[in-house]
Amino acid sequence: MNSKAIAVMVSGHGTNLKVILEAVAAGACPVDVRLVISDKADAGALQIAHDGGVAHVIHLNPKDYPDRALFDAACADLIDQHGCQWIVLAGYMRILSSFFVRRFPRRIINIHPAILPAFPGAKAVEDALAYGVKASGCTVHLVDEVLDGGSILAQSIVPVLDDDTRDSLHARIQKEEHKLYPATLRRMVEDGFSIVGRTVIWNANHSRLDQ
């Protein structure tokens, strides 16, 4: 299995997929995006994948499967068939089944618009604003069976301004996501990591991610 081969799972506009593919094209992110899977037929990410030259772009309809586990099994089979080492979630809005997570231990990557472990879940930006934090940001983390609970690979901080709305703060966080995600994927395939307890230990002695 090619350690640089990734599958990207998407549901929406595909902004993070787009920056990953752009970084690959620019030589800044040496991953091999072999497969893009969407659970939504109208996801903008599908066209981005086609435009970006991804060889295998597939829509799977969850309604074609009797339950979540069987849908996830179909996705997992595709990932294995295409020899993908890593599964990268880029705006994928379905909660993965325990079966899927256990099939790919420490191989599923997600980005979350908050500084975990604070503010997990789908309303992270709104929750951070409501709490009155003065800083927020984004977290790239491994996926386990706890929602937004896996070991942290990288984080980036943004200030929260007094007049921020959900949209203005989210836009600032997304700018950091678009730098942090490709940089983390690059380090993941070039350097690798080990895990001690919950802590990710990068194999190479880098002080920070290049951004």
Tokens describing residue 176? 């950091």
The question of whether 82 is a catalytic residue gets the answer: no
Check if the beta carbon of residue 73 is closer than 8 Å to that of residue 99: yes
- What are the residues whose beta carbons fall under 8 Å from the beta carbon of 94, sequence distance 6 or more? 11, 39, 62, 68
* Closest to 36 (Cα-Cα) out of 69, 73, 71, 82: 82
Q: How far apart (Å, rounded) are the C-alpha atoms in residues 61 and 18? A: 22
Pick the catalytic residue: 82, 112, 141, 170? 112
In 3D space, the residue among 12, 13, 30 whose CA is nearest the CA of residue 21 turns out to be 30
Residue numbers annotated as active site: 112
